[in-house]
Amino acid sequence: MRKVFVSLFVAILSLMLLLTGCGGGTTTPTATPTTTPTIPPPPVEKIVIGLQAPITGDFSAEGQWAKQCVEVAQDLINKAGGVLGKQIEIVVVDDGSNAKDSATAAQKMISQGLKEVIASYGSSVTRPAADLYDKNKVVSVGYGCTAVSLTMETQRPYFFRTAGRDDTQSEFFAKFAVEKLGAKKIAIMHDNQDYGKGVADDAKKFLQPSIDAGTTEIVYFDAITKGQSDYSAAITKLKEIAPDLWFFTAYYNEAALLIKQAREMGFDVTFVGNNSVPTPDFEKVAGDAIKGTYMLNEPMPQFLTFPESKTFMDAYKAKYNELPGSIWAVYAADALNALCAAIKTAGTTDPDKVAATMRTMTDAKGITGPLMFTDRGDRKNIPYYAYLYNNDGKLELFWPK
Amino acid sequence: MDTLIQQLINGLTIGSFYALVALGYSMVYGVMKLINFAHGDLFTLGSYIGYTVLVVGASWVTATFGIWGGMAIALVAAMIGIGVAGLVMERIAYRPVYKAGRLPLVVSALGMSFVISQGIMAIWGPNPQAYLSGWTPKDFLQFGNIRVPVLQIAILVLALGLMALIYWLVERTTFGAAIRAAAQDRDTATLMGINFNLIIFFVFALGPALGGMAGVMQGLKYTRISFNMGWLYGLKAFTATILGGIGNIPGAMIGGLLLGVMEALFEGYVSGAWKDVFIFLILILVLIWRPTGLFGEKTAEKV
């Protein structure tokens, strides 16, 4: 009897696990990269730049926005006289939102003899392409890839990115929490997954100086289980610890339930969510509980304040009648701006010279701020902002203004 | 002390959801010797039915019957809807293969699980839906430092009341005796004049109906519902069933409540990250000590 039960139980558990694996999400069929017509060798009067983007697959919305943003930026550059007296031409290749097709897309760009490309969205998608471009001495600029390892694990002399790095957010958080909010007792909660735990660990690291100085302490550092509905046990524990500030580093689903249940239990602590929290779904589930919560994000398209951003957003609105759907697409446009600025300064499209210029240029202005890069190819001084859900439940810029 | 009481309330609430779902597992297992894998998905379906009643009726249901009336209508709709769904499921997925042995039954149950969860996705879409905040009462009771929403108390009372009702029905009535007899020995029970088909009908209507009501309660309490949430509740409820002793009605209730309280206490006093590891460790220890679960030995009590 005992054996039967134990083996039955094990069998059922494994089946349940299988179910989890299968039921986890919807599969979007990944289309093969759309074929782009083979273009003749670039004519002298044109500078051809590639755009590798997820036009199909899971991230297709991001891919479409990136394409639209790059085209608007291209129009603006060409109308202003182009670069080195030549017009810019964009070749779009689809990477299907996955790593396998990303390599194929990169091969296609390389075989067409392109020297500069914009690529791509998603860290794991970008990685194989960045390797290929690097090996073939093609300058590539990523726009939607934030994993720290992309630039810090291996040095790729020809790889850059206009998006920030995950640890930049953690560093900004430490500054925001200590300098702006003056938090003394900080609680950090993550979800034990790569992205969330990474941001949480880094936040702890950047808080260390204040901890050593004795002005701040981390009173809670723990994970919740992703996918649950009831987080009241974790909230009760947190409520007893009574932190000044609660930093949550994971996705919007759990964030919405946590903040809703916390407010129901009368727990009024200051809540800070990281850059994947402020979404329409978060607002819908959390309802009124979002009011007064802070969100950290790279500048959202509606909040960009540089003169270049205004020009760009006006042009984009005139063409598509709305703002770009995400900041990552705007970074794709800035990838084009960075490449054009470097080509202009270097006076050539030679990849070695362009890559060297990218590292040293200081005067390039982008839609999202100055375009400067470190030796490892990361964007310098990526702006980070804290946003506040006001009493109408709308996001407003909070700090720095 | 306040914290301990708060954690116990938290644990009992989540535990009562587990217990309601576990009852369905246990009743079906007792009579059919079948692990009904689709049970967690019926729970999800119940919460979508409640959602639809409130969303389609929108202002009408809540405006006409008040907030409490609206919630009651959603609960009754889910109870009836899922009761019928359970009967339909038994007829199309289990009865045709019942004589073929236990393995085909289990495969058929897995198939039903996929059919239901994918069906929900096809109808209501892959994105999570939310029970809107206007559908539920906002009041709460304050005891010192402890704040408990009235809704949570109502849910807890309703869940415990349903469990007491089932307990009474199965353990104290003649019909309950018939169910227990059928669970013990189908052939002898039939010879004694018990209508086995009626027993199956009852078990497959009532077990899922309880799960469906739990689904609505979960939506009211936690707002967010998604087409694939059933597996987690299914897994937890199944664990509770095993813990209490499968096929045993009081075992399923106690197992569910115990599981909820243990989770809350471990998360509250040790670590949230290791909660599931701890729960399954306890389960393994219990199974080594009592392989048939905490209440599983008295086979005469099996349903």
Q: What is the Cα–Cα distance from A245 to A250, expressed in whole angstroms? A: 16
Q: Contact at 8 Å (CB) between A368 and A383? A: yes
Residue, of A14 and A328, whose pLDDT is higher: A328
CA A287 to chain CA centroid, nearest Å: 25
Q: What angle do CA B278, B281, B286 make, to 5 degrees?
A: 125
| pLDDT over 80 at B298, yes or no | no
Q: Contact at 8 Å (CB) between B242 and B288? A: no
Residue A250, pLDDT score = 82
Global model pTM greater than 0.80 = no
Does residue B261 sit at the A interface (CB-CB below 8 Å)?
A: no
The verdict on a CB contact (< 8 Å) between B275 and A225 is: yes
Helix (H) or strand (E) holding B228: none
Structure tokens at B282: 């306890």
Q: Contact at 8 Å (CB) between A389 and A290? A: yes
Burial tier of B296 (Cβ tally within 10 Å: 0-12, 13-18, 19+): buried
| pLDDT over 80 at B60, yes or no | no
The CATH class, in words, for B2-301 is mainly alpha
| pLDDT over 70 at A4, yes or no | no
Q: Give how far Cα A136 sits from Cα of A131, A140, A199, A344, Å.
A: 9, 11, 33, 22
Residue A31, pLDDT score = 46
User: Quick one: closest CA in B to A228, which residue?
Assistant: B232
Close Cβ partners of A85 (under 8 Å, ≥ 6 residues apart) = none
Residue B73 identity (one-letter amino acid): I
Torsion sign (Cα): A257, A263, A265, A271: positive
Q: Contact at 8 Å (CB) between A150 and A224? A: no
B267 sits in the region (left: phi over 0; alpha: psi -120 to 50; else beta) called alpha
Nearest to B50 by CA among B259, B240, B281, B218: B218
Tell me which CATH code domain A46-164+305-370 carries: 3.40.50.2300
Does residue B133 sit at the A interface (CB-CB below 8 Å)?
A: yes
State pLDDT tens for residues A94-120. 998 888 999 999 999 999 999 999 999
* Fold match flag (A46-164+305-370 vs A167-297): yes
Q: What is the Cα–Cα distance from A313 to B192, expressed in whole angstroms? A: 81
* ipTM, two decimals: 0.75
Domains of chain A, by residue range, sit at 46-164+305-370, 167-297
The verdict on a CB contact (< 8 Å) between B14 and A232 is: yes
Residue A17, pLDDT score = 46
Residue A30, pLDDT score = 45
Residues of B in contact with A19 (CB under 8 A): 37, 110, 113, 231
Q: CATH second-level architecture of A167-297? A: 3-Layer(aba) Sandwich (3.40)
Residues of B in contact with A15 (CB under 8 A): 37, 110
Interface of A with B (CB under 8 A): 1-2, 5-6, 8-9, 12, 15-16, 19-20, 22-26, 192, 222-225, 227-230, 232-234, 236-237, 239-240, 253, 256-257, 260-261, 264-266, 281, 284-285, 287-288
Structure confidence at residue B58 as a pLDDT band (50, 70, 90): low
Q: Contact at 8 Å (CB) between A358 and A373? A: yes
Residue A67 identity (one-letter amino acid): K
Close Cβ partners of B262 (under 8 Å, ≥ 6 residues apart) = B11, B278, B279, B282
| pLDDT over 60 at B232, yes or no | yes
Mean pLDDT of chain B: 88
